[in-house]
Amino acid sequence: MSLPVTAKVPFGGDYNPEQWPEDVWKQDHQLFDAAHIDLVTVGVFGWALTQPAEDVYDFSLLDRIVERAGAQGRGICLATGTAAHPPWLARAYPEVTRTDFEGRRHRFGQRHNSCPSSPVFRRLSTELARRVASRYADHSAVVAWHVGNEYGGACYCELCAAGFRDWLRHRYGTLDALNAAWYTTFWSHTFSDWAQIEPPSALTEHWRGPDHTAFQGVTLDYLRFCSDAMLTNFRDEKAAIRESSPDLPVTTNFMGMYRPIDYHRWAPHLDFASWDNYPPDDESAARMALTHDLMRGLKDGQPFWLMEQTPSVTACRDVNPLKRPGLMRLWSWQAVAHGADAVLFFQLRASRGASEKYHGAVIGHAGRADTRVFREVAELGAELARLGPASLGARTPARVALLFDWDSWWALEISDGPSRLVRYQQVVLAYHRALWEAGVDLDVVAVTADLSGYDVVVAPALHMLKGDLPERLEAVAARGGSVLTTYLSGRVDENDQAFLMDVPGPLGQLMGIRVDEWDARGPEVVNPVRLGAGVDQFDVEARLLFELVIPQGAEVLGTYQADFYAGTPAVTRNAHGDGHGWYVAAGLDRTGVSWVVRQVLARHDLLGPYPDVPDLESALRVAPDETRLLFLLNHRPEPVEVTARTGGVDLLTGDRVEAGQPLRLPAYGVVMLREDR
């Protein structure tokens, strides 16, 4: 099973008409028509209305919402409605609320408030999903199922403790195996009964907070357990949907680089991936590209849905900047350029009260069509309508893979030493940004992905090495490819235990080095690194972590310039088979990372069409009929003019573009070039 079947890129978003009187619904749909909105996501937070008491189900309101949307010709992404449980449920069954990290049993409130291990929650959420699916499965407007919403958080209750022990029994089989994996001879922790095992919390292994644990193995397994427990909730609901709806695809909306949930472990259970894009600032073009690619990588490169984005502002942050004119359009096309086969908003009409009343919406509180935001949404809707199916199902022809690994993320950030200042995401973002600026089409993939199709594999801060990954990376180099990794890679096995060998562990052969010592310093300490050779030498800054490298066959391409290790290697390249292993031993600045990445890319002729034009993004998709679609996205607030590298037709304007001729993009402009065959 794959993506929902649609005739064009679906356009619309979350719609919560249960929040306002029905006489407004007519106006809603008139405005949807004006904005070319053809898909609504409904019922995400409907539990209290559809099941007002344990033995009472009332679908009359949802019936009317679904009927009207269908009658107006709109597709429906129908939610199971289990993302927030109703007050009566928490009152009748206190076990359904969560216990937090400090051990406090919560009472009714907020959302994300259900204990994933509660048998009552599992039974009633599954039953609601079963009834929703059975009632609407044959409704012609329903194109997809939306389970839950933005799964996340953690629970530390007794039910979760019992669930954790079961999960551990399944993982380890025996207490001897568990004791070995957790290294429990340290600090007298040897367990002699499963019942002795406690969830790692502020009451047990932790100090200062969730990242400060005395036993990394315990905390790592609890992170894995929490992710799996919520996955079980998703799978429960999906199985219930399948009883009456064998053919419609099922998804849940992810949150991009969201640490608590290992989306790679979830991905096989979704029919298609979808995610909510709320970048933390308005300078996040590279970060958004990375996250889109991460989401596309979840299902082997299959397109995803952009399930939510704000048309204007968010409300959840302390300060919520407005998307400048043109940015919503630009970022929407960026999503399409990276594999989105739907462009959807949260939300279509603004809530009148509660925590999202100031969250941006296509239709504001006054219900006007003559606002800038509505006008820009309607213009994008018209563009997508004109485009039709051209980009549906198109794939990204990537020859570069960026490895992303939740286990490495967790292990690095719960580790005592070498440095709390080295953050996994920041290292990944730094290397991704260099690739993005070079205009490279890349896949962001799990460490278990097939790497045989890639010329270059970049693995920043690959802290944990699992399974046969070292051999598969060696194979990439052996056949002529390049593998690039960094400091804090190859440190621990899947149980977070150090390898009993030189750092970088099983990557040592490929990298041709050994790391003898490491020096972590505050952000104010700079050790310059000299890169290049001969007259082309130049210095860049390095910070936070400095590994002291002793080459074991690798060639030295960069050296530290200060401290007692001045003159020793900071960047190396090792010949391995027909290719290379590259190692960056310190936190290089942006110029330094860019230099290393472009050295690697140049060898494989992988620089994009405009690698030296700042903030001009390029991304290629290849449609199922082999049509090549080149997206050019100008992220600058001023125009840019370049020379067209290939001829074709700009599908957004219908204009011809000739190779070798000037191509002008306005501020925040987009070109979607259907290249000549």
Binding site for Zn ion (CB under 5 A): 115, 117, 155, 157, 159-160
Choice between 121 and 345, CB closer to Zn ion: 121
Give least dist CB 227 to Zn ion, A. 14
- Reduced to 3 states (helix: H, G, I; strand: E, B; else coil), residue 77 is strand
- Reduced to 3 states (helix: H, G, I; strand: E, B; else coil), residue 74 is coil
Maximum CA pair distance of the chain? 80
How many C-beta neighbours within 10 Å does residue 345 have? 26
Query: Which residues participate in catalysis according to the annotation?
Result: 150, 308
How many whole angstroms separate alpha carbon 466 and alpha carbon 264?
14
**CA angle 353-355-360, nearest 5°?**
85
Choice between 119 and 624, CB closer to Zn ion: 119
Choice between 222 and 266, CB closer to Zn ion: 222
Cis omega (within 30 of 0) for bond into 311: no
Give least dist CB 151 to Zn ion, A. 14
- Reduced to 3 states (helix: H, G, I; strand: E, B; else coil), residue 458 is strand
Placement of tokens 């290939």 in the chain:
646
Residue 454 sits at φ, ψ, to 5 deg, of -110, 140
The two three-digit tokens of residue 434, written as one number: 């260099």
- Reduced to 3 states (helix: H, G, I; strand: E, B; else coil), residue 468 is coil
Element holding 176 (H helix, E strand): helix 175-182
Give least dist CB 637 to Zn ion, A. 48
Per-residue three-class SS string for 585-610: CEEECHHHHHHHHHHHHHHCCCCCCC
How many whole angstroms separate alpha carbon 182 and alpha carbon 185?
9
Give least dist CB 171 to Zn ion, A. 19
Q: What is the DSSP code (8-state) at residue 359?
A: S
The answer to whether 349 and 41 are in contact (CB under 8 A) is: no
Give least dist CB 193 to Zn ion, A. 21
Give how far Cα 566 sits from Cα of 180, 378, 485, Å: 40, 59, 22
Choice between 155 and 178, CB closer to Zn ion: 155
Choice between 161 and 515, CB closer to Zn ion: 161
Choice between 155 and 295, CB closer to Zn ion: 155
- How is 615-633 classified by DSSP, letter by letter? TEEEEEEE-TT--EEEEEE
Give least dist CB 160 to Zn ion, A. 3
Give least dist CB 231 to Zn ion, A. 15
Residue 142 sits at φ, ψ, to 5 deg, of -75, 120
Beta strands in 193-311 (DSSP E): 250-251, 253-254, 274-276, 304-308
Give least dist CB 164 to Zn ion, A. 9
Give least dist CB 235 to Zn ion, A. 17
Placement of tokens 């820009």 in the chain:
376
How many whole angstroms separate alpha carbon 516 and alpha carbon 522?
21
Choice between 159 and 401, CB closer to Zn ion: 159
- Strands of 142-146's sheet, edge to edge? 250-251, 142-146, 75-79, 39-42, 11-14, 340-345, 304-308, 274-276, 253-254
Choice between 159 and 670, CB closer to Zn ion: 159
Choice between 226 and 422, CB closer to Zn ion: 226
Choice between 160 and 529, CB closer to Zn ion: 160
Element holding 483 (H helix, E strand): strand 482-486
**Which of 116, 87, 82 lies closest to 99, judged by CA?**
116
Q: What is the DSSP code (8-state) at residue 44?
A: T
Give least dist CB 115 to Zn ion, A. 3
